[in-house]
Amino acid sequence: MSSIEQEGLNIRSITERKLTWFYIEKPTSQEVAFLAQRFHFHPLDLDDVLSRIQRPKIDVYKDYLFIVLHFPVFDKENRITRPSETDIFIGENYVVTVHCTGDLKPLAKFFQECETDKQSRESYLGRSSGFLLYHILDRLVGSCFPILDKVTQNIDDIEDIILTRPIPATVREISLIRRDLISFRRVIHPQIAVIETLEKGEYPFLKEEEEIYFGDIADHIRKIWGGLEDCKEVIDGLADTSNWLTSHRIQEIMRLLTIIMGLLAPPTLIASIYGMNLPLPGGVHTGSLLPLGILLALMAIIAGGIFFYMRHRRYL
């Protein structure tokens, strides 16, 4: 075994028997130049390593594979799951993992485990590059389950709150969970096609049964997607429930206000009539019934006109 760190470069590597794992975080043009000189990878693949807007994909060459994958990383500050890109070159006697942002802790921990623990190193690197790739993907895909469990727990919590004490804050919580869920789904869905390509392909230089090993990874990623689909259905149902409860609450408030306005209407009408500067029966300056009759007739005509107009427009 040997563990080396290239001088002046952000490259670490470990070797067991004939297999070497090169680990790179936050690559620059210097690390890409080293890869071009050491392995003679296709220039377009090396350009993809420096790019931060790559879609998940797998490029197949005669003696190596180039794989671009995204895995979820939860941003606690903004409460959203974001994608973290990992580029992988794999040939018969090497695996190169390029971690573009440096925030995928499962990958870093796995490399450190192989770097420091002899038994793990011999177990994972002592067989073939395909076997090592399987375990790398298994660790990364496995790290998605705790994030999915957290989303599920958040949905369960909001479900209890929304049914016991519907408050305006639940609308914001539902919106945050839906945003996180949408982002999580965007990360996971493109990976399914890439993993299934690995599962169905035949790559002799990997020296492993792709259908068995990568089929296991494909099952896990499909299970995660199924869990996300279930979460989507639940959160959509909770959003509909929240909207219904909010609408019902508004209706109850409007009903109460209508009752209050109905109770206040007669006193308001009497006060309005006797607040006019006209001599009316019972007022300070007692007058005849004629002004009062004219006022009441005018009110009745206006109210009747409005009533018939609303009936004509089918508002009533």
Residue 294 is predicted with a pLDDT of: 75
Q: Do 220 and 141 touch, CB atoms closer than 8 A?
A: yes
Residue 282 is predicted with a pLDDT of: 62
Q: Do 37 and 91 touch, CB atoms closer than 8 A?
A: no
Residue 283 is predicted with a pLDDT of: 61
Name the residue type at position 201.
Answer: G
Residue 148 is predicted with a pLDDT of: 92
- The domain limits of the chain are 2-247, 277-316
Residue 135 is predicted with a pLDDT of: 92
Q: List, for the chain, all residue ranges whose pLDDT scores fall below the cut of 50.
A: 1-4
Q: What is the pLDDT of residues 139-166, one digit of tens each?
A: 999 999 999 999 999 888 888 787 676 6
What CA–CA distance (Å, rounded) separates 23 from 5? 10
2-247 is a CATH 1.10.357.10 domain:
no
Percent of the chain as helix, strand, coil, to the nearest 5? 65, 15, 20
Residue 179 is predicted with a pLDDT of: 92
Residue 66 is predicted with a pLDDT of: 94
Residue 160: CB atoms within 10 Å: 9
The whole model's pTM is what?
0.77
Residue 270 is predicted with a pLDDT of: 67
Residue 301 is predicted with a pLDDT of: 83
Residue 296 is predicted with a pLDDT of: 76
Residue 2 is predicted with a pLDDT of: 43
Residue 278 is predicted with a pLDDT of: 66
Residue 287 is predicted with a pLDDT of: 65
Residue 5 is predicted with a pLDDT of: 52
Name the residue type at position 52.
Answer: R
What CA–CA distance (Å, rounded) separates 49 from 32? 8
